Amino acid sequence: MEHAGKNFPEPTIETEAYWDGCRNRELLIQQCNQCGKSQFYPRMMCTNCMSRNVHWVKATGKGKVKTYTIIHRAISKAYAKEAPYVVAIIELYEGPSLMSNIVGCHPRDVNVGQEVEVTFQDWSEEITIPMFTPIERD
Amino acid sequence: MESLRGKTAIIGAADSDVGVVPHMSATQLCVDAALKAMDDAGITKDEIDGIVSCDSWAEPFLYHAEAISEYLQIEPKYCISVGTGGGTTFSLLHHAASAIATGICDTVLITMADSLRSGISKEKAMKTQASTGHPQFESPYGPSVPSLYALIARAHMAEFGTTAEQLAAVSVTARKHAHLNPAAQMRELITVEDVVNSRMIADPLHLYDCSLISDGGSAVILTSREKAKNYSKQPVYLLGVGEGHRHEHISQAQSLTTSAAVDSGKRAYEMAGLGPNDIDFAELYDCFTPTVLIELEDLGFCEKGEGGAFVESGAVDLGGLLPINTHGGLLSHCHPGNPGSMFALTEAVVQLRNEAGRRQVNDAEVALVHGQGGIMSSHTTLILGKEV
């Protein structure tokens, strides 16, 4: 029950494919069949051309840190044991941005512009959360 | 379309006691502010035919404006409450002015309050805070409200070289002004060092980069320009108003360092036929220090990226080029949540009436007041003046 009390997402009819993807260790985003634009979070239409003809694609899972913060005062008890933890906005190579945690490094080592890739954290049998970690360069 | 310019005026404005006010409920604070604003205007309840409010967290009602009307036993023609966080207040003033201009009603009481310090349990406050952000795509990562603004601060620092000390200067100025305001919750002077040495909440934001948690209520009475002449106080005219809305969730923002204040400001300036150089003082939404830098830039008071240097130069202090947050703002006067901006509005009225005592802005003729809600999501700019 390592993650008990955290803010578990509740998948909806619109988002369950995304959360199924996470469970299978795939980061899914949507792409428009009409204009080709990629988007996140999932929607029933393309935010660019309003076409309803959007489909799921597997993202590279790679992107860069647009901004981040190191949270010292956790939002609730369940998160206190993670503090200090990093919340960041990541711009995926495909274009869309999303919020996530940066894990697998010291918070001090996170930078704006840093390249990161997705990693998955299992919170329960149903819920797996995508997080990001710095891409190691040789 | 016909412009709202100069069609309406504020004829009464007042605040309840603010800060820690344990002897009054959120509803009582709301009604207390309303009664004081009515006294200030010298108006009877029969003359009020519109009621506008926003819900409180401490004592919520499903239909808040109806509940307040019922409490006051006023039966208005126009009755509405809206919730767009800190953006609510001026959005509502925009609605109320439109309602008067289109003849829906004549005179609107806008009153709101909350009791976030005394009227709400710590558990409930934490629970509400824990629900911040998109429930599926942000909230699981554990962002706090300060952390969402810290994302904006970090982006501004990375893009423009803004420093923690420049952010701190916003808070120092607010406190300087609060020091001159007997009503303010926090009045002891602070230094830049005090701010940057205060506890880190969400890096780069320290405790003193964050606004207060308060009890308090505030109300204004808005009527038509024609009717405003019937009341004793100097009318404060609404010369310009504009809104801008670009996102709800910060992870969806197209830009982290330029906000929809650009849109709301442009619309308000155009309506007023005025520009940034015509503004004598401004009351800018300061829930966290970085918002003020972005608002100063987006509203045209300095170049993009130069907000930090502008504040550091002393330009925003009383006696400076553009005094801001003359009452102490959300950082030092009080911040009871959604009603927070109302105190900036009543302060602008007090300043334009030349009633601000030791914190009076010299020759205050035109004020700009800006509110935002969400995470730099919902923006409304007001331009107010003594003359039409």
Q: Is the peptide bond before A84 cis (omega within 30 degrees of 0)?
A: yes
Min Cα distance A80 → chain B (Å) is 10
The domain that holds B18 is classified in CATH as: 3.40.47.10
Alpha helices in B145-247 (DSSP H): 145-160, 164-179, 192-196, 225-228
Mean pLDDT by 10 residues, chain A (138 residues): 91 97 98 97 96 97 98 93 97 98 97 98 97 88
- Answer yes or no: are the C-beta atoms of B218 and B345 closer than 8 Å: yes
Q: Hey, what domains does chain A have and what are their CATH numbers?
A: 16-134 (2.40.50.840)
Rounded to 5 degrees, what angle do the CA atoms B98, B104, B107 make? 80
Q: What is the mean pLDDT of residues B76-99?
A: 88
User: Does some domain include residue B14?
Assistant: yes
User: Does some domain include residue B342?
Assistant: yes
**pLDDT tens for each residue of B255-264:** 999 999 999 9
Which residues, in sequence order, are CB contacts of A20 under 8 Å at separation 6+?
none
pLDDT for res B129: 73
**pLDDT at position B86 over 90:** no
User: Does some domain include residue B357?
Assistant: yes
CB contact under 8 A, B142 and A69: no
pLDDT for res B1: 62
- Answer yes or no: are the C-beta atoms of A66 and B155 closer than 8 Å: yes
**pLDDT at position B308 over 90:** yes
User: Does some domain include residue B282?
Assistant: yes
Which residues, in sequence order, are CB contacts of A1 under 8 Å at separation 6+?
none
Alpha helices in A4-137 (DSSP H): 16-23, 77-80
The Cα-based distances of A75 to B126, B193, B365 in angstroms read 7, 26, 44
From CA B161, how far away is CA B308, in angstroms rounded? 9
User: Does some domain include residue B269?
Assistant: yes
Q: Which candidate from B139, B152, B153 shows the least CB-CB separation from A7?
A: B139
User: Does some domain include residue B13?
Assistant: yes
Sheet holding B378-385, edge to edge: B78-81, B50-53, B107-115, B215-224, B8-15, B236-245, B378-385, B366-373, B281-284
CB contact under 8 A, B143 and A70: no
- Answer yes or no: are the C-beta atoms of B292 and B307 closer than 8 Å: yes
Q: Touching check for B142 and chain A: CB below 8 Å?
A: yes
Q: What is the mean pLDDT of residues B208-221?
A: 97
pLDDT band for position B84 (50/70/90)?
low
ipTM of the complex: 0.97
pLDDT for res B212: 96
User: Does some domain include residue B196?
Assistant: no
Give A100's contacts in chain B (Cβ within 8 Å). 141
Residue type at B167 in one-letter notation: L
Q: Which A residues in the span 38-67 are in contact with B, Cβ-Cβ below 8 Å? A: 40-41, 66-67
User: Does some domain include residue B55?
Assistant: yes
pLDDT for res B125: 78
**pLDDT at position B167 over 90:** yes
Min Cα distance A129 → chain B (Å) is 8
Q: How many domains does chain B have?
A: 1
From CA B203, how far away is CA A111, in angstroms rounded? 12
Residue type at B139 in one-letter notation: S
Min Cα distance B257 → chain A (Å) is 11
**pLDDT tens for each residue of B263-286:** 999 999 999 999 999 999 999 999
Which of A20, A29, A75, A92 to mutate against chain B (most B CBs within 10 Å)?
A75
Query: What's the domain range around B222?
Result: 8-119+212-385
pLDDT band for position B372 (50/70/90)?
very high
Nearest CA in chain B to A81: B142
